[in-house]
Amino acid sequence: MLLAIDIGNTNITLGVWNGRIWEHQWRLHTNWQLTADEYGITLTALLGREGLQDSINAVIIASVVPALTETFDQLSRRCLNLVPQHVTAETDLGLEILTDTPTAVGADRLVNAVAAYRLFSGPAIVIDMGTATKFDVISGKGDFLGGVIAPGLGLAAETLTRRAAKLSSVPLEAPPQTIGRNTSEAMQAGLIFGYAALIEGIARRILAEHPDQGQPIHILGTGGLIDLVTPHTNIIEYVDPWLTLTGLRVIYERLSGNR
151-210 pLDDT, tens per residue? 999 999 988 888 776 677 888 999 999 999 999 999 999 999 999 999 999 999 999 999
Cβ–Cβ under 8 Å, residues 153 and 171: no
Q: Taking the CA atoms of 49, 52, 53 and 54 in sequence, report the sign of the dihedral they define.
A: positive
126 plus 189 within the same structural domain: yes
pTM for this one?
Answer: 0.92
Q: Residue 158 belongs to a domain with what CATH number?
A: 3.30.420.40
Mean pLDDT value across residues 10-14: 95
Best CA proximity match to 251, nearest among 11, 73, 2, 29: 2
Does the annotation count 6 as an active-site position? no
Interaxial angle between packed helices 107-120 and 243-258, expressed in degrees from 0 to 180 and rounded to the nearest 10: 80
Question: How many angstroms separate the CA atoms of 184 and 140, rounded?
Answer: 43
What's the confidence (pLDDT) of residue 54? 87
Average pLDDT, the chain: 94
Strand duo 238-239 + 132-138: pairing = unpaired
Q: Where residue 259 falls among pLDDT bands split at 50, 70, 90?
A: very low
What's the confidence (pLDDT) of residue 176? 95
Among candidate residues 108, 128, 136, 240, the one labeled active-site is 108
What's the confidence (pLDDT) of residue 166? 64
What's the confidence (pLDDT) of residue 213? 87
Range of the domain at 12: 2-86
Statement: residue 241 has pLDDT above 80: yes
137 plus 230 within the same structural domain: yes
Q: Where are the beta strands (DSSP E) in the chain?
A: 2-7, 11-17, 22-29, 58-63, 85-86, 124-129, 132-138, 144-151, 218-222, 238-239
What's the confidence (pLDDT) of residue 258? 44
pLDDT in tens, 123-148: 999 999 999 999 999 999 999 999 99
Strand duo 58-63 + 2-7: pairing = parallel
Of 114-118, 211-215, 244-248, minimum mean pLDDT range: 211-215
82 plus 139 within the same structural domain: no
256 assigned to some structural domain: no
Name the strands in the sheet holding 124-129, side by side, starting at the edge strand that comes first in the sequence: 144-151, 132-138, 124-129, 218-222, 238-239
79 plus 107 within the same structural domain: no
119 assigned to some structural domain: yes
CA angle 192, 154, 45 (to 5 degrees): 120
Of 86-95, 188-197, 225-234, 249-258, minimum mean pLDDT range: 249-258
6 assigned to some structural domain: yes
What's the confidence (pLDDT) of residue 165? 64
Number of domains observed in the structure of the chain: 2
Cβ–Cβ under 8 Å, residues 60 and 253: no
Question: How many angstroms separate the CA atoms of 53 and 43, rounded?
Answer: 9
Question: How many angstroms separate the CA atoms of 54 and 47, rounded?
Answer: 9
Q: Where residue 53 falls among pLDDT bands split at 50, 70, 90?
A: confident
